[in-house]
Amino acid sequence: MDNMDSITSFVPLWEAPDNIRNTVEVADFHNNRDHHAFKLRFRSCSVISTSTTTENDRPLPTVKILGTGGTIASKASSSQATAGYKVDLTIEELVSQIPDLLGTCHLEYEQVMNIDSSEIGLEEVVLLRNQIVEDLDKYDGLVITHGTDTLEETAFFIQSTINTSKPIVFCGSMRPSSAISSDGPMNLYQAIVIASNPASHGRGVLTSLNDRIGSGYYITKSNANSLDTFKSVGQGYIGNFVNNQVRYYYPPAKPLGLTIFEVGKKLCLPEIPILYAHQGFNNKIIKLMITELEAKGLVIATMGAGSLSTGTNEVLSTLVNSEIPIVYSKRSMEGMVPIEALPKVNDRPMENVIAGGYLNPQKARILLQLCINAGYSLKQIKKVFKSV
């Protein structure tokens, strides 16, 4: 391909001319195969580059997309519908919709699963994590397509269990692929460009939606319908995407107070239910969680910044074993629960109650699960949460 040194393009391998097909090496050729866990067929690693250098003779980065499903991979019954859709597209079909990546990267992809993110549990998250760990040494960056409903939980788990400087970028969409002005293709395109950019290294897990780059550690879905849904108002965005350019606001840095946990390929996390506080909260629910679910810890979405009724605090102090950690998180999207707001019963602090800091209940649950799984003492768990 000496006469093609100045040309960089991306073509499906099965459509490439014979002279290219015979000279280009790829990790995994275009083969149909059945997914080991889900009822779908997919093609893996079937997009290649016909050049190995950029205009400035720098090697192009290699990026891999891991598809998991979600709205970005969904179709509705009409182009006007933005609800009632079903996951129906493979990652190969998603890649075919994105703009030209001329001179951006070598691109490969694999379908890890293809489900709605509401169906994702520990088994699926661990499956995805294992695939990320397997791929990290082979690629310069990874992109994860994911449903937006639980994207923040998966991103937080990945951030808390993988220590790497390479960019891992999550993206999704709020509109199905069949909708007018679907946001999926642009979000995916931008995520690929972000993962290809050297400036994205050392920033932790990232999210790419609606032209904004966020931290997977802090970002949360704030609106059930709007495109501009992923926010972290207190911590802010890391950067944005304007006119085909990645623009970061700050030097590379990971979230302050981040704890990285070592976990194996197989993982069984303890039962940690989340209780949502409200007026007239029925304290019998607490007993149910402890006796029936055998919960190893609790997370409570408190009212305000750690506020619960006197009766609920008293029940927690008498019913819950003092060795079972209880994290006081908050219902509100922003703000924090400080240590000083934790309750006292009979003028004595509850030793097993932990301030959730800035974390929302769903992320506090994951962090508490990882702490308990690591065998941390109550004192160590408090130290971990003190920094968040």
Three-state SS for the chain is: CHHHCCCCCEEEHHHCCHHHHCCCCCCCCCCEEECCCCCCEEECCCEEECCCECCCCCECCEEEEEEEECHHHEECCCCCCCCCCEECCCHHHHHCCCCCCCCCCEEEEEEEEEECHHHCCHHHHHHHHHHHHHHHCCCCEEEEECCCCCHHHHHHHHHHHCCCCCCEEEECCCCCCCCCCCCHHHHHHHHHHHHHCHHHCCCCEEEEECCEEEECCCCEECCCCCCCCEECCCCCCCEEEECCEEEECCCCCCCCCCCCCCCCCCCCCCCCCEEECCCCCCCHHHHHHHHCCCCCCEEEEEECCCECCHHHHHHHHHHCCCCCCEEEEECCCCCCECHHHCCEECCEECCCEEECECCCHHHHHHHHHHHHHCCCCHHHHHHHHHCC
Residue pair 82/125 in contact (Cβ under 8 Å)? The answer is no
Q: Over 80: is that where the pLDDT of 162 sits?
A: yes
In terms of C-beta density within 10 A (0-12 exposed, 13-18 middle, 19 or more buried), how is residue 227 classed? middle
Quote the pTM value. Answer: 0.85
Q: 């994590």: which residue's tokens?
A: 129
Q: What is the pLDDT of residue 105?
A: 94
- Choosing among 3.40.50.300, 3.30.465.10, 3.30.70.380, 3.40.50.1170, the CATH entry for 2-248 is 3.40.50.1170
Taking residues 293-320, what's their average pLDDT?
93
* Burial category of 248 from C-beta neighbours within 10 Å (exposed 0-12, middle 13-18, buried 19 and up): middle
Query: CA-to-CA distance for 53 and 59, rounded, in angstroms?
Result: 4
pLDDT band at 268 (very low <50, low <70, confident <90, very high): very high
Q: What is the chain's mean pLDDT, rounded?
A: 86
Which band of pLDDT confidence, cut at 50, 70 and 90, is reported for residue 57? low
Percent of the chain with pLDDT over 90: 68
What CATH code is assigned to 274-386? Answer: 3.40.50.40
Q: Which residue has the higher pLDDT, 308 or 319?
A: 308
Q: Rounded mean pLDDT of 73-83?
A: 86
What tokens were used for 360? 């929302």
Task: Specify whether 148 is catalytic.
Answer: yes
The active-site residue, picked from 8, 68, 71, 220, is 71
Say how far apart CA 95 and CA 195 lie, in whole Å.
15
Average pLDDT over residues 274-284: 97
Q: Cα dihedral sign for 116, 117, 119, 120? A: positive
Q: Is 55 exposed, middle or buried (0-12, 13-18, 19+ CB in 10 A)?
A: exposed
Mean pLDDT of 69-75: 93
In angstroms, how far is the first alpha carbon of the chain from the final one?
A: 53
- Say how far apart CA 290 and CA 295 lie, in whole Å: 5
pLDDT at residue 46, rounded to an integer = 40
Instruction: Check pLDDT > 80 for residue 25.
Output: no
229 among known catalytic residues: no
Q: Does this chain's domain 2-248 share its CATH topology with 274-386? A: yes
Name the burial class of residue 3, with classes exposed (0-12), middle (13-18) and buried (19+) by CB atoms within 10 angstroms of its CB: exposed
Q: In what order do the strands lie in the sheet with 212-215?
A: 106-115, 62-69, 141-145, 168-171, 205-209, 212-215, 239-242, 245-248
Compute the average pLDDT of residues 175-192: 90
Return the amino acid letter for 206.
L
Per residue in 28-56, pLDDT (tens digit) is 433 444 443 333 333 444 443 334 444 55
Three-state SS annotation for 225-237: CCCCCEECCCCCC
pLDDT for the residue numbered 194: 97
The residues spanned by each domain of the chain are 2-248, 274-386
Q: Which residues are annotated as a binding site?
A: 117, 148-149
Mean pLDDT of 69-77: 91
pLDDT (0 to 100) of residue 238: 96
In the annotated binding site for substrate, the residues are 117, 148-149
pLDDT of residue 382: 96
Are 98 and 73 in contact by the 8 Å Cβ rule? The answer is no
User: pLDDT category, 8, cuts 50, 70, 90?
Assistant: very low
Query: In which band, very low, low, confident or very high, does the pLDDT at 117 lie, cut at 50, 70 and 90?
Result: very high
Q: Residue 134 has what pLDDT?
A: 97
Total number of residues shown for the chain: 388
Candidates 8, 68, 90, 148; catalytic one: 148
Lowest mean pLDDT among 186-195, 271-280, 340-349, 355-364: 340-349
